[in-house]
Amino acid sequence: LEADGIVEDGPDGPELTVSLSWPAGLLEPDAVRELTDGWVAMLTGLAAQAGRPGAGGHSPSDFPLLSLAQQQLEELEAEIAMED
């Protein structure tokens, strides 16, 4: 399965267009439809989450020189937010 995608500016903001292709006889059309439906649902969920206030944030991997657990990082971020 090959996926080619591009993001272009549309009238309502950026739009993702994806084209899927696969060798004939390798995948059944129903299998491809199931895969694409799942992929679209996942991307829709990610887009909805990204649009919510407070979405995102940091993870310990954003600070490789520090030894922090996710909970510690969230506590630090909360302290900094309270000081602002």
For residue 54, pLDDT over 90 is answered with no
Mean pLDDT (the chain, rounded): 90
For residue 51, pLDDT over 90 is answered with no
User: For 69-80, what is each residue's pLDDT tens digit?
Assistant: 999 999 998 898
**C-alpha distance from residue 13 to each of 8, 24, 64 (Å):** 8, 35, 34
For residue 12, pLDDT over 70 is answered with yes
Calculate the dihedral angle through the C-alpha atoms of 31, 29, 38, 61, rounding to the nearest 10 degrees. Answer: 80
For residue 84, pLDDT over 80 is answered with no
Which residues, 6 or more positions from 73, have their beta carbon under 8 angstroms from its beta carbon? 58, 59, 60, 63
